[in-house]
Amino acid sequence: MNAGMSEGINEGMNEGFDAGIDDGTADRTSDGTADHRPGRPAGPIVDLQLDRAHSSRIYDYFLGGKTNFLADRMAAGSVLSVFPSALIAARINREFMHRATRALVKAGMRQFLDIGTGIPTPPNLHDIAQGIAPDARIVYTDNDPIVLAHAAALLLSTPEGRTAYVQSDVNDPEAILAAPQLRHTLDLREPVALSLNALMHFVTDDGRDRAHAIVDTLKSALPSGSTLAMTHATPDFGPGTMEKIVEIYRGAGTVLQFRSRGEFLRFFDGWELLAPGVALPHQWRPDRPEDATYVADAEAGCYAAVARKP
């Protein structure tokens, strides 16, 4: 583990640390969203399993966040030992989300569905979208209870817009699409910008092509004009290193499947790729020309693209 990695461990790491989590059973306001006013009863107590590494908290560490714990830092340290550029890869992935969101809002998109949200790290997707279009509506989803524990940061919408959070797993796309929070926030008859950043490599195919089937289910539920923004780790630039990362995550209890450029491209079948097509995250419409060259392909280790439904 890198020097200083264990500094500042949260005091809440004691065994049995729990948090009041709204799992959908909390009292609701008239529009169906959870009532988080002071004094209202919280949802049931949920064990956050802080003794186990979780992908969202490992990613939070890579981004310089503070919502990560000893197990997460140990796993992150193992990844950094074989892939020192993990911090760079996480940052350019996050920056891609910022640029893609800005581009889509400027192109007229006003509804966003961000699956695999992760722990809030400002600026979040709604900060970007509503900063340009205050009436934008955003639904976040994740399967990590600790993300829900911090979801208040994701629900600070502008008065003109709306944000909501759904505690759900991408492996059950039908449940996400049917969630009352989503239905009260988004109009699925109008275009929706679907965001699947650094998510689908956590879905293994198990010989059934599950990842592509999940994305196809989500795509088919969205109308013409909808978009898909996505990043995905790949073994194309360093297969040996990426295999070691797979083993590290497996040892921490999380399965991974990194995919080739061709496999990544299949997620967009039937949709029209926006320029520049499939690229490394920092090379997708960089803010400055020099931003497209400061990271080597092997350091990025990831593909990115945005497509629109005809």
Q: Residue 299 class from Cβ within 10 Å (0-12 exposed, 13-18 middle, 19+ buried)?
A: buried
Please tell me the total count of domains within the chain: 1
Q: What is the pLDDT of residues 38-56, one digit of tens each?
A: 334 345 565 666 778 888 8
137 domain-assigned: yes
Mean pLDDT, range 234-246, rounded to an integer: 97
42 domain-assigned: no
The reply to whether the predicted model has a pTM over 0.75 is yes
The pLDDT, as a whole number, for residue 5 is 33
133 domain-assigned: yes
219 domain-assigned: yes
For 254, the domain range is 86-308
18 domain-assigned: no
Q: What is the pLDDT of residues 149-193, one digit of tens each?
A: 888 888 999 999 999 999 999 999 999 999 999 999 999 999 999
The pLDDT, as a whole number, for residue 141 is 97
Q: Is the pLDDT of residue 28 over 80?
A: no
Q: Is the pLDDT of residue 236 over 50?
A: yes
Q: Which comes out higher in pLDDT, residue 14 or 210?
A: 210
76 domain-assigned: no
96 domain-assigned: yes
198 domain-assigned: yes
* CATH number, domain with residue 218: 3.40.50.150
Q: What is the pLDDT of residues 57-84, one digit of tens each?
A: 999 999 999 989 999 999 999 999 999 9
